[in-house]
């Protein structure tokens, strides 16, 4: 056996950012007690996830489920190498976040590619959000914080239908100009299919050289991992997911969960792709969330556990 070269090794490694503590918890009908959140986030950190979106500086009257964000940031105890991310909707949110500057390493900004979805989600026209992004970007860069951005409804909008690929990538370039080093593309309401994911990520990677391109799929119609596989095949090496398949979107009602971190990790590990995470520990964290929430979650690995290969590998391995 010859040693793989660096490019080949690179191609068999993906980054996974855990968004369950923000994207998942904010969509729960009942607010999860702060101590339980802290316990679950600590478990995620111990499972090897080294980027976790922990809090959101949104208005507590709009999303009361995340109103304890500072207490959560203050209470968690994560390994040294874990980056804590906070989501910020506007300059007012950034003011509040920067008042806690020492509690996180990265800021995530977002906009919807669909005008209607942006207005319904954060009550602002896209142009106004992007003008604010420019100002926020300067401050984030000046603070020497990590700066990533997520574009919601990148693959379709329940209100506007198909979203032109160029419109999405134009917004991505505006974020990059504002200083973002990572661009995530969100399938907010689960409208992507793997053929389009393949085409989309090939185009995004070509249009955004030097930018980390991240896929954020929902499993609304069970296709989430098919989309992730297609994006991987197109060259994407960074993914957002949510333990237990938690998550969704505040609008429209009925939008269901993100792809499950443990199902995504199971797929990549079986493909021989390194994620840097401990699958059994991730499954334990998802099961703990199930207990806290008091209902069955829709992740599949939570039931089946990891694949167990009874005998040593043969030449049939993937």
145: which DSSP letter? -
Distance in Å, CB of 299 to a second copy, minimum: 7
The distance of Cα 7 from the centroid of its chain, to the nearest Å, equals 25
Candidate segments 1-9, 13-21, 102-110, 227-235, binder of a second copy by CB under 8 A: 227-235
Query: CA separation (Å) from 267 to 40, 123, 243?
Result: 23, 37, 14
Element (H, E) at 119: helix 115-122
Pairing of strands 15-18, 83-88: unpaired
Distance in Å, CB of 147 to a second copy, minimum: 27
Distance in Å, CB of 230 to a second copy, minimum: 7
> Quick one: how many helices (H) and strands (E) in the chain?
12, 8
Residue 240 main-chain phi, psi, to 5 deg: -105, 145
Nearer to a second copy, 81 or 166 (CB): 166
Which residue out of 148, 157, 192, 249 is catalytically annotated?
A: 249
Is the bond preceding 252 in cis, omega lying within 30 degrees of 0?
yes
Candidate segments 55-63, 68-76, 156-164, 177-185, binder of a second copy by CB under 8 A: 156-164
Rounded to whole angstroms, the Cα distance separating 237 from 14 reads 5
Q: Does the protein bind a second copy through residue 193 (CB under 8 A)? A: yes
Nearer to a second copy, 99 or 303 (CB): 303
Residue 58 · residue 93 · CB < 8 Å: yes
Q: Does the protein bind a second copy through residue 157 (CB under 8 A)? A: yes
What mask, x for binding a second copy by CB under 8 A, covers residues 282 to 301?
--------------x-xxxx
Nearer to a second copy, 45 or 248 (CB): 248
Candidate segments 25-33, 95-103, 137-145, 222-230, binder of a second copy by CB under 8 A: 222-230
Distance in Å, CB of 199 to a second copy, minimum: 7
Site for a second copy (CB under 8 A): which residue of 58, 267, 289, 293?
267
**249 classed as catalytic:** yes
- Residue 24's contacts (CB-CB under 8 Å, 6 or more residues apart) are 242, 243, 244, 246, 247, 257, 258, 289
Site for a second copy (CB under 8 A): which residue of 21, 93, 184, 194?
194
Site for a second copy (CB under 8 A): which residue of 76, 260, 286, 289?
260
Candidate segments 21-29, 78-86, 127-135, 268-276, binder of a second copy by CB under 8 A: 268-276
Site for a second copy (CB under 8 A): which residue of 223, 238, 242, 277?
223
Q: Binding-site residue total for a second copy (CB under 8 A)? A: 59
Residue 150 main-chain phi, psi, to 5 deg: -125, 130
Distance in Å, CB of 174 to a second copy, minimum: 19
Q: Does the protein bind a second copy through residue 309 (CB under 8 A)? A: yes
Q: What would the two tokens of residue 65 be?
A: 């489920």
Residue 242 · residue 258 · CB < 8 Å: yes
Smallest CA-to-CA distance from 206 within 236, 232, 230 is with 236
Strand blocks (E) in the chain: 15-18, 51-56, 83-88, 106-112, 146-152, 182-186, 212-216, 238-241
Nearer to a second copy, 148 or 293 (CB): 293
Task: Give the catalytic positions in this structure.
Answer: 249
Contacts with a second copy, residue ranges (CB under 8 A): 156-165, 190-191, 193-196, 199, 219-226, 228-230, 254-256, 259-260, 263, 266-267, 270-272, 296, 298-301, 303-304, 306-318
């Amino acid at each position: 056996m010859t040693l793989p070269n660096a490019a080949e090794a690179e191609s068999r490694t993906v980054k996974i950012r855990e968004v369950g503590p923000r994207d998942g918890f904010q969509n729960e009908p009942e607010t999860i007690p702060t101590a339980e959140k802290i316990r679950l986030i600590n478990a995620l950190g111990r499972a090897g996830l080294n980027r976790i979106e922990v809090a959101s500086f949104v208005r507590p009257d709009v999303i009361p489920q995340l109103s304890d964000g500072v207490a959560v940031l203050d209470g968690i105890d994560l390994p040294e190498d874990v980056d804590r991310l906070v989501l910020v909707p506007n300059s007012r949110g950034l003011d509040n976040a920067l008042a806690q500057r020492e509690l996180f390493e990265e800021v995530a900004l977002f906009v919807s590619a669909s005008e209607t979805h942006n207005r319904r989600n954060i009550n602002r026209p896209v142009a106004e959000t992007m003008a604010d992004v420019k100002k926020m970007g300067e401050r984030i860069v000046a603070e020497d914080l990590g700066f990533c951005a997520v574009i919601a409804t990148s693959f379709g909008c329940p209100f506007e239908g198909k979203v032109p690929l160029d419109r999405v990538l134009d917004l991505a370039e505006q974020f990059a100009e504002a200083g973002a080093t990572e661009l995530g593309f969100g399938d907010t309401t689960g409208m992507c299919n793997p053929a389009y994911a393949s085409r989309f990520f090939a185009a995004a990677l070509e249009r955004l050289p030097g930018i980390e391109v991240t896929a954020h799929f929902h499993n609304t119609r069970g296709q989430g991992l098919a989309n992730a596989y297609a994006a991987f095949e197109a060259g994407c090496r960074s993914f957002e997911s949510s333990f237990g398949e938690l998550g969704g979107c505040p609008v429209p009602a009925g939008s269901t969960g993100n792809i499950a971190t443990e199902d995504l990790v199971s797929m990549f590990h079986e493909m021989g792709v390194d994620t840097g995470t401990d699958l059994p520990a991730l499954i334990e964290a998802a099961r703990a969330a199930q207990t806290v929430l008091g209902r069955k979650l829709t992740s599949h690995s939570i039931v089946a556990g990891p694949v167990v290969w009874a005998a040593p590998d043969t030449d049939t391995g993937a």
